[in-house]
Amino acid sequence: MIFCGIDVAKDKHDCHIFSSDGEILCDIFSFPNSLEGFRSFHSLLSKCSNGNLDKIKVGLESTGHYSTNLLSFLKQLGVSVTLFNPLSVSQSRRACSLRRTKTDINDARYIAQLLVSDRSNPYHEQLYHFSSLKSLTRTRFRLNKELQPLKNRYRRSVHILFPELSSFFCNLYTNSCLSLLEVLPSAKDIASCNITKLSNILSSASHGRFKKEKALQLKQLATSSIASYNLGDAFELKLLIQRIRFLEMQKVELEKEIERILSELHSPITSIPGIGNVLGATILAEIGDINNFSSPAKLLAFAGCDPSTYQSGKFVAKNTPMVKHGSRYLRNALYLATTAAYISSPSFQAYISKKKEQGKHHYVAISHGMKKMSRVIFSVLKSNVPFVERF
């Protein structure tokens, strides 16, 4: 067997190759992240294995998009590939030397050595549906992260320009409110606006729900407002509304595409309480093939939701935090699904409430609920049978 460790980078990759007998076949070899570089690396692998690529086992860190194209190239060659968590490589480096000698070549050597001792399963390319869902759901996650600070700034601007508006609209993000503020961004503008124009804006944005009486109430509220007018804040509010609407529109498009792909999978995951189409797609995309996990505990560990342990001599720590070394997208989806199931599912509500009665903090009880959720997801996906609530 021939072991090849690759340290992946943006512009180039470094590799170290040795045989199962310990003979170093290639100590230092760097190739650019290009077609020519991939071809030169292919030639090196063929030379080291005498043309038999089945004898080669390649290992590399899971470094996100930097390794995507290289992974695709290696799978086309039919080479066995193992992905390592960067933390495993870092710990291996620290275990081998007390000196701070972090270099790309050394990392390639440590990855190659991990291939010999590690029992990780070879990397298998995901199905088209899973890889597409992963890109879409992670894009939606980032979109929400981008939206939140915009919404915070939007609320700040409204509080300065028309603080009483929150008592008029039950939700500041409704189409009626956004449409109004996009045209009249302050209490001063609303107070000086013609009642007919104001009534038309509200009626059009609310599809006729807001009549002239509502417009009169709003105008009176704006007239007695304590707001201080600032041209810069008013202009910023208009721009914020345009950006929020654009991102919300993109989010709707994403969710439609997510639901379309999810419908092709015919997965029973959405039968689980607290899991809708978006969360179901996120969980499926992050898990991939459920057969890669032999137990719910391994699925929980993959999400980084398992509790850390610390024991030394007779001391055993009781209050330990989550490991949080797994997929943050899966961990977030499990948390959201569990909090929703706590509201809608009698079995989850009873389970989490029991943990609270035992004296556990709310979030500790929710973490136990996440463990239960991972067991339910594992069972449903393994059996491919919809979830049935048990009272």
pLDDT tens, residue by residue, 140-193 = 999 999 999 999 999 999 999 999 999 999 899 999 999 999 999 999 999 999
What residues contact 50, with CB distance under 8 A and at least 6 apart?
none
What is the spatial distance between Cα 209 and Cα 199, in angstroms, rounded to a whole number? 11
What is the spatial distance between Cα 47 and Cα 329, in angstroms, rounded to a whole number? 41
pTM value is: 0.81
- pLDDT(98) > 60: no
What count of Cα atoms within 13 Å lies in the side-chain half-sphere of residue 213? Answer: 1
What is the DSSP code (8-state) at residue 313? T
Measured in residues, the chain has a length of 391
What is the spatial distance between Cα 129 and Cα 125, in angstroms, rounded to a whole number? 11
Alpha-carbon distances, residue 142 vs 136, 148, 150, 339 (angstroms): 10, 10, 13, 21
Structure tokens at 101: 């000698």
With beta carbons less than 8 A apart as the criterion, state whether 108 and 8 touch.
no
pLDDT value for 169: 92
State the distance between the two ends of the chain, measured CA to CA, in whole angstroms: 55
For 358-378, the pLDDT digits (tens) are: 999 999 899 999 999 999 999
Structure tokens at 384: 């491919």
With beta carbons less than 8 A apart as the criterion, state whether 181 and 157 touch.
no
Alpha-carbon distances, residue 298 vs 125, 275, 293, 374 (angstroms): 20, 21, 6, 10
Q: Which residues of 347-380 are buried (b: 16+ CB within 10 A; e: fewer)?
A: ebeebbeebeeeeeeeeebbbbbbbbbbebbbeb
pLDDT value for 1: 85
Sign of CA dihedral 331, 336, 341, 342: positive
For 308-324, the pLDDT digits (tens) are: 666 667 776 677 666 67
SS3 category, 320: coil
pLDDT value for 118: 60
Alpha helices in 318-361 (DSSP H): 328-344, 346-357
pLDDT value for 371: 93
SS3 category, 184: coil
pLDDT value for 9: 86
Structure tokens at 102: 């972090």
What is the spatial distance between Cα 305 and Cα 374, in angstroms, rounded to a whole number? 10
SS3 category, 69: helix
Structure tokens at 14: 């470094």
What is the spatial distance between Cα 167 and Cα 196, in angstroms, rounded to a whole number? 22
For 217-266, the pLDDT digits (tens) are: 999 999 999 998 989 999 999 999 999 999 999 999 999 999 999 999 99
pLDDT value for 95: 65
For 278-306, the pLDDT digits (tens) are: 999 999 999 988 988 889 988 988 888 87
Alpha-carbon distances, residue 217 vs 117, 158, 199, 221, 366 (angstroms): 74, 18, 11, 6, 44
Quickly state the pLDDT bin for 117 (edges 50, 70, 90).
confident
Sign of CA dihedral 385, 367, 309, 114: positive
Sign of CA dihedral 65, 67, 73, 79: negative
For 7-46, the pLDDT digits (tens) are: 888 888 989 888 888 888 888 889 999 999 999 999 999 9
- pLDDT(349) > 90: yes
Alpha-carbon distances, residue 75 vs 140, 269, 335 (angstroms): 28, 30, 34
SS3 category, 85: coil
What is the spatial distance between Cα 301 and Cα 146, in angstroms, rounded to a whole number? 28
